[in-house]
Amino acid sequence: MKILQESLADTVTYVTKRSAVATGSPEVDQTVRDIIKNVRINGDQAIFEYEKQFDQVDLTDLRVPQANIDAAYENASTDLIEALELAKRNITSYHEKEKQRGFVDTEQPGVMRGERLTPLAAVGVYVPGGTAAYPSSILMNVLPAKIAGVKRIALVTPPQKDGLNQAVLTAAKIAGVTEVYQVGGAQAIAALAFGTKTIPRVDKITGPGNIFVATAKKQVFGQVSIDMIAGPSEIGIIADASADAENVAADLLSQAEHDKLARPMLVTTDLKFAQAVSDSVDQQLLTLPRKEIATSSVNEQGFIAIVDQIEDAFTVMNAIAPEHLEIQLENAAQYLSYVENAGSVFLGFAASEPVGDYVAGPNHILPTGGTSRFFSALGVLDFMKRTQFVTYSTAALAKEEKAITTLARTEGLEAHARAVESRFRRQK
C-alpha cells in the first residue's frame, strides 16, 4: 500500500481531495434520465426491455411468487437461517431503542404545541445483485422500517440468468417481506418512484447500488424521499504498534474486496507497523478470491498515512469522514470523543468491521464519500415523518398579537397580520 509521510496539513489536504460523493458523469446522468422517462411512459414494458438489455434476462413477470420465496427458505441451510435469525434479533433489539413517540408541551397557559411521529406508508428497498449478493442488507433496510411501523415494503433486486439469489429470498422471508420484484438498476428506482402497472409507487427508497442506482436516486429525489447517495465502501483505521498488523490488513481488505473504487485507509504513528501492515496486505491478497477487485482498490484508492501523534490521526480521519472507522488502540473507548465524522465506529482490537456488517445490530447502510459530516446511518427515524401541531386559546393569542402583526407587516404580509387581528375585531 502507498505510505504517506507528509506534514499533517499536507496529509489532510491529500485525503480531503480524495473524498467525494459518487456523482457519475454527464453520460451516466443522461442515460439514467432517459431510463426514468421511458419507465414513466411505458411502465412494465420498458422494464422488460431494460432487463433483457442490461441483465440478459428475458422476463415475463416482475413480481416474485410467494412460493419461490417460501421454497428458498425451506431449502436454505440451517447455518444460514441461524445466522440471519441472530442478525435479525440483534438488529431489532438495537433499532427498537431508536424509536421516538413525539411530545406534547403545555407549559404556556392557553397554548398546546407538540409533535407526532408517524410511519411512512410505503418504502422501496434496493438490494444489489451484481458482483455480490447482500442478504444482510435486506435485514438492515427492512427491520428498522418495520419497527417504525411501515405497512408496505417493496423489495427490488436485479434478476439473474439462473434465478434470483436464494440467500436473498431467504433473508426476505426472515425479514417478513412478501413483495419482491426482480428488477434492478435505474429502472428499478424509476418504478419505485413513479409506479408501474405491476409495481406501485413508494414514499421512500433506501439501499445501496451502483453508480446508475445512485444517480437515479438523486434524480427522483423530491418525487420520493431517499436515504442518501451512497458511493463505494470505505474503511478508515487508526492503529498503533499495540494492534496486530495481520488483523489490520485483513480489516482493510474486508472493504477493498467490495469494489475497485473502495477506499481502505490506515493512519498510524509507527512507520515499522505501517510497513508490516502493507506487507501483510500483499500476502493476504495472494489467496483472496476477489483478488483482482481488492488489489485495484488497495493500489489505486488505499493508503497508509504516518502522523506524529494519535491526536493527529483523528484530525486526518475527521477530515476523511469515513463510512467505517476502526480504532485499534489500547483503551479504544476513551478515544470515542475524538471522533467528529464517521458513519459507524468500531472500538478495540476485536471489533472488526464485518461484525457491524452482519450481526452487531447497528445499521450498515452508512454515508460514504465524506458525507458522514452531515448524514447518519440508516435508522428507524428515517422511516418516520414528524407532524407538528399547535393550539392557542383566545387569551394566549391576545398576549402575542402585537408580536405577530409586527413581524407580518415587517415582512410586507398584511393579510397575515389581519388574519390574527380578525380574531379580536368585535372587541375593538
pLDDT mean by block of 10 residues, the chain; 428 residues:
95 81 79 98 98 94 97 98 98 97 96 97 90 86 98 96 92 97 97 98 94 95 94 95 98 95 96 98 97 96 97 97 97 98 98 97 95 95 97 97 98 98 81
Per domain, the residue ranges of the chain are 3-21+231-361, 26-226, 393-427
Q: Where are the beta strands (DSSP E) in 227-367?
A: 234-239, 263-268, 303-306, 324-328, 344-347
pTM: 0.93
Per-residue cell: 272: 515499522
Instruction: Give the β-pairing of 103-105 and 111-119.
Output: antiparallel
* Residue 403 Cα to chain centre, angstroms: 43
Q: What is the pLDDT, as a whole number, of residue 18? A: 67
Burial readout 385-408 (b: 16 or more C-beta within 10 A, e: otherwise): eeeeeeebeeeeeeeeeeeebeeb
CATH superfamily of 3-21+231-361: Nitrogenase molybdenum iron protein domain (3.40.50.1980)
Cell of 365: 447502510
Residues 94, 363: Cα–Cα separation, whole Å: 9
CATH architecture of 26-226: 3-Layer(aba) Sandwich (3.40)
Decide: helix, strand or coil at residue 134: coil
Catalytic residue annotation: 323-324
Domain 26-226 in the same topology as domain 3-21+231-361? yes
